[in-house]
């Protein structure tokens, strides 16, 4: 196991699972989901670079490469892999590059916008317009404003004024990592859209989103469902983008059923 990557575990179930958190989050975000799945899996949650207690990214090379390299050792001899938002793009890549080590894959609102350039340019344009305010704040170097506006789109609907100062500072200090994700999420730097790459993801895939999440998440999930050999979609009622934190039991129920079907070899298509 990499000595650099911080991780924590939840539960003592017989099956191994790995969970990768969203941008501006940390491994503790999986506490509720891990507790709800505690009898089924032992859930390992790792901190991505620059998040939680894992090492920062030094700005050299590709950020997604660094994230993937930090997470890859946690695959061990095989896991049920779960990713949320940006963490879901890391999970997607791990599943494509090491399919024999992934027993099932759960992607919760993967922010892989590049797939819409092919399937739904209008949805991509709408996202870009929605993201313009925090993108402009980032370019201007106003990280506090950028964090506030980013949280308005991708947060848990808590008003910025109501977020504890320490949490606001945590998010603000990590906003520089948002543009570092662009080569993967907008340009497919690892080349996963090349012919045959996504076809390697033959394990059962669950594509999850919250019913109140940004519309672009539904378009991305649909585009991925069309490309993955064995995928199904599920929507968590009353939840938004931060469903693993705000609705952990509902998220865990969906993941638990998915893992159970994968272990039994049930065809999900």
Residue pLDDT, tens place only, 170-179: 999 999 999 9
Contact 245, 32 (CB under 8 A): yes
Q: What's residue 232's pLDDT?
A: 97
Task: Give the CA distances from residue 205 to residues 78, 94, 159, 169, in Å, rounded to whole numbers and listed in that order.
Answer: 15, 13, 33, 35
Asked whether residue 211 carries a pLDDT value surpassing 70, the answer given is yes
Do 35 and 140 fall into the same domain? no
pLDDT > 90 in the chain, percent: 93
* Domain boundaries, position 156: 119-180
Residues 50-71 as b or e (16 or more Cβ within 10 Å = b) = bbbebeebeeeebbbebbbebb
Whether the per-residue pLDDT at 110 is higher than 90: the answer is: yes
Average pLDDT over residues 198-213: 97
Does 238 score more than 90 pLDDT? yes
142, 158, 180 - which closes a domain = 180
Q: Structural domain tally of the chain? A: 2
Residues 6+ away with beta carbon under 8 Å from 66: 49, 57
Average pLDDT over residues 133-146: 96
Clarify whether residues 62 and 136 are in a common domain.
Answer: no
Note the pLDDT of residue 59: 87
Residues 102 and 128 in one domain: no
> Looking at residue 106, what is its pLDDT?
98
Mean pLDDT over 64-76 rounds to 95
Residues 143 and 14 reside in one and the same domain = no
Read off the pLDDT band of 269 (50, 70, 90). Answer: very low
Question: 2 in a domain, yes or no?
Answer: no
Beta bridge partners of 234: 208
**Could you tell me how many helices (H) and strands (E) the chain has, helices first?**
12, 7
Last residue of a domain, one of 180, 199, 233: 180
Among residues 146, 180, 214, the one where a domain terminates is 180
């Amino acid at each position: 196991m990499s000595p650099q990557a911080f991780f924590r575990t939840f539960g003592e179930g017989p099956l191994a699972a790995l969970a990768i958190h969203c941008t501006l989050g940390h491994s503790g975000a999986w506490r509720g989901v891990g507790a709800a799945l505690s009898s089924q899996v032992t859930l390992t949650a790792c901190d991505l670079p620059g998040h939680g207690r894992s090492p920062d990214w030094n700005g050299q090379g590709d950020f997604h490469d660094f994230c993937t390299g930090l997470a890859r050792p946690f695959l061990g001899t095989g896991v049920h892999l779960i990713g949320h938002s940006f963490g879901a793009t890391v999970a997607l890549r791990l599943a494509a590059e090491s399919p024999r080590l992934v027993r099932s894959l759960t992607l919760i609102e993967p922010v892989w916008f590049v797939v819409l350039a092919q399937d739904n340019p209008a949805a991509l344009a709408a996202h870009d317009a929605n993201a313009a305010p925090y993108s402009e704040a980032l370019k201007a170097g106003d990280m506090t404003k950028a964090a506030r506006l980013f949280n308005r789109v991708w947060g848990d609907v808590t008003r910025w004024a109501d977020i504890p100062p320490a949490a606001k500072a945590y998010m603000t200090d990590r906003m520089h990592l948002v543009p570092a994700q662009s080569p993967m999420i907008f340009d497919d730097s690892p080349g996963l859209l090349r012919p045959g790459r996504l076809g390697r993801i033959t394990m059962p895939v669950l594509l999850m989103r919250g019913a109140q999440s940004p519309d672009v998440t539904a378009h991305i999930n649909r585009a991925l469902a069309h490309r993955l050999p064995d995928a199904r979609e599920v929507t968590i009622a009353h939840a938004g983008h931060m469903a693993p934190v705000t609705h952990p039991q509902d998220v865990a129920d969906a993941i638990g059923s998915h893992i159970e079907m994968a272990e039994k070899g049930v065809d999900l298509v």
